[in-house]
Structure 1
Amino acid sequence: MRLSVSLGLWQDRPADEAVRTAQIADEQGYAEVWVGEMATYDAFALATAIGMRTRRVGLTVGPLAVTVRDPMMIAMGAASVAGLTGRPVHVALGTSSPVVVEEWHGRSRAGASTALREAVQALRPLLDGDKSDFSGDQVSCTGYRLRLPAPRCGLTVAAFGPAAVGAAALADRMVLNLLTPASAARLITDLRLLNPATRVAAWVVAAVDPDAAAIEQVRRGVLPYLAAPGYGEMFAEAGFADLVAYARTRPHPRDLLPAIPDDLLESVALIGDSVEIMDRLDAYAEAGVDEVALVPVSTDTDPYGETTLKALAEGSSG
């Protein structure tokens, strides 16, 4: 099982912890750091800062919302990070959430599934240094060629539903987020029918020997997914149907949060001692996951997730 590190970008933690977490990942020998984009840093700017403050770790930027960033912007951003840092840089794409796309950016998510598939097709030649010549229903880019050296990077697609899995089949890697091993196995089966060669990664929140603050951070991270389409059904299948039904009545978060049991957290996160976590990693491997991107919990007693990353570093095959 290959282990990488995905920056948590926790809302209740200082934003600049992300750079130190990436440095620890680099020091501990993890081969790759995933640099997402939430409400703080621009992903390409953060990836550049990390590349300049680490020695060897590779970078995956994203997932980037395909209805917000166009292929030229993404290709230029990836080439910029690679050129400025001298590191291998990969790109991850996704559709993001209605809050981010429609409310924060004021863009439409209409046709997002089509845009995801088309973005993969449009980006491939750009990232290889070829002139773009793509015109689809939602995405187009014609006439542009990178002036910087082409990053020739891999493309990853964040997937959950059938359309996104179909887009991932056109990419080098599919990434899954907050899934039970059983749910991951079903999506991977669907992917393998389309393209057996596409690798699979899973982002999984991790906390070794967690204290109460770490468990609470995981609980807050899971809360928004309980009522979400697809995720709610997954949690119901895992034995938490009553909680999902309650979540879909839209209670105040202060009432829903304490109702989330620890065993629900354990169904989608790596929580416990090192031995327990390695057993959980085996479950993801048996589901067909090639790589787990650890999302380390960060608290006052374990800032940057350092304890977790050091404890699990031996499981990384680089």
Structure 2
Amino acid sequence: MKLTVSLGFWQDRPAEEALRTAQAADELGYPEVWVGEMATYDAFALATAIGLTTSRIALTIGPLAVAVRDPMMIAMGAASVADLTGRPVRVALGTSSPLVVERWHGRPHAGSTKALAEAVDALRPLLDGAKSDHLRSQGYRLRLPAPHSGLTVAAFGPAAVRIASRADRMVLNLITPASAARLITDLRARTSTTRVAAWVTAAADPDQAAIEQFRRAIVGYLAAPGYGEMFAEAGFPDVVDYARTHPHPRDLLTAIPDKLLESVALLGDSIESRLAEYAAAGVDEVAIVPVSTEKDPGGARTLRALAALNAESV
């Protein structure tokens, strides 16, 4: 199985550790780093910094919220990073959440699935340097060299899986192997060529700080449609029911058992067996999201521990 790296942007950790994670991934021979976007760095700016401070690693930028960034902005950003860094640049797209789209950006989240489908259609010619005739980017052509970026679509529900079947790669985030297997079965009913990646949180030697860091990151997903049902199916219906009563986050944190975390992560001695479960589900690539703590800044120790498993991808 191919192993790549995704930046974690962990709460309560210095923002600049994202760059440290990418540099460690490059030094350890990982072939690709995923540069997402949360509350700190602009994704294109961070990707450029990574490209200028590493030696070889390829860049995937996103998933970018299609209700926030239009196809022309995304194509220009990808071409800018590729031109400034000389690195292969891929683009990942997603619908993001109502919190990010509506509250942070003041844009409507309704219609994001349609925007996702339109973005895939519009970006194909743009990223290849053609003049666009799509309504969302009409008449624009890149002035920089075309990056010829591959497209990845973040999916969780059936509609996004249908759209991902037209992309080069589908990515699944925070998912159990069983749920991944169902989504991949749906994808394979449509296409045999779209590769599948899964973002999976990892800690090679998890101490309590690492466990608590991940526990805080997972709180917002427990009551979410789809995710709640996934965790209930994994054996934690009581936790999901409690989360849907909207308790104080502090109280919900204490109700999350370690076993729930293990259902969607690579932790300690179970890493190799868990990777085998994802492979059996049909996942082609696991993007490691290393937990960052005081003991393991930027997750570099975790990446080093998993690098030995990455021989087939370099």
Q: TM-score range by the shorter chain?
A: over 0.9
Amino acid at match of 1:284: Y
In structure 1, the partner of 2:296 is 302
Amino acid at match of 2:282: G
Question: Is 1:270 aligned to 2:266, yes or no?
Answer: yes
Structure 1 contact 13–298 (Cα < 8 Å) conserved: yes
- Within-5 A mapping of 1:84-123: 84-123=84-123
1:279 corresponds to which of 252, 258, 273:
273
Point out the more displaced range, 110-119 or 23-32.
Answer: 110-119
In structure 1, the partner of 2:183 is 187
| Structure 1: 4+ residue segments shifted above 3 A | none
CA distance in 2, matches of 1:247, 1:54: 42
In structure 2, the partner of 1:31 is 31
CA distance in 2, matches of 1:210, 1:185: 27
CA distance in 2, matches of 1:313, 1:262: 25
CA distance in 1, matches of 2:228, 2:111: 23
CA distance in 2, matches of 1:64, 1:222: 20
2:248 corresponds to which of 222, 247, 252:
252
Amino acid at match of 1:62: G
Amino acid at match of 1:229: P
List runs of 5+ in structure 2 lacking aligned partners: none
CA distance in 2, matches of 1:280, 1:209: 15
| Cα drift, residue 272 of structure 1 | 1.2
Q: What secondary structure sits across from 2:25 in the alignment?
A: helix
Percentage of matched positions with identical amino acids: 76
Structure 1 contact 177–202 (Cα < 8 Å) conserved: yes
- Within-5 A mapping of 1:1-318: 1-135=1-135, 140-273=136-269, 276-316=270-310, 317-318=313-314
Q: What secondary structure sits across from 1:107 in the alignment?
A: coil
| Cα drift, residue 309 of structure 1 | 0.1
Amino acid at match of 2:225: P
CA distance in 1, matches of 2:133, 2:189: 29
| Cα drift, residue 24 of structure 1 | 0.3
- Would you say how many aligned residue pairs link Structure 1 and Structure 2? 312
Structure 2 contact 66–95 (Cα < 8 Å) conserved: yes
Q: What secondary structure sits across from 1:196 in the alignment?
A: coil
Q: Give CA deviations for 1:180-227 in whole Å, capped at 9, x if unaligned.
A: 000000000001111110000000000011100001111111111100
Q: What secondary structure sits across from 1:289 in the alignment?
A: coil
CA distance in 1, matches of 2:7, 2:239: 29
- Output the TM-score relative to the length of structure 2: 0.99
Structure 1 contact 117–166 (Cα < 8 Å) conserved: no
Amino acid at match of 2:288: L
Structure 1 contact 207–308 (Cα < 8 Å) conserved: yes
CA distance in 2, matches of 1:2, 1:69: 29
Q: Give CA deviations for 1:31-54 in whole Å, capped at 9, x if unaligned.
A: 000000000000000000000000
- Please tell me the root mean square deviation across aligned C-alpha atoms, in Å: 0.6
Amino acid at match of 2:293: T
Q: What secondary structure sits across from 2:134 in the alignment?
A: strand
Q: Give CA deviations for 1:41-70 in whole Å, capped at 9, x if unaligned.
A: 000000000000000000000000001000
Amino acid at match of 1:167: I
| Cα drift, residue 241 of structure 1 | 0.5
Amino acid at match of 2:296: D
| Cα drift, residue 11 of structure 1 | 2.2
Q: Give CA deviations for 1:220-272 in whole Å, capped at 9, x if unaligned.
A: 11111100000000000111001100000000011010110011000001111
Q: Give CA deviations for 1:16-42 in whole Å, capped at 9, x if unaligned.
A: 011111000000000000000000000
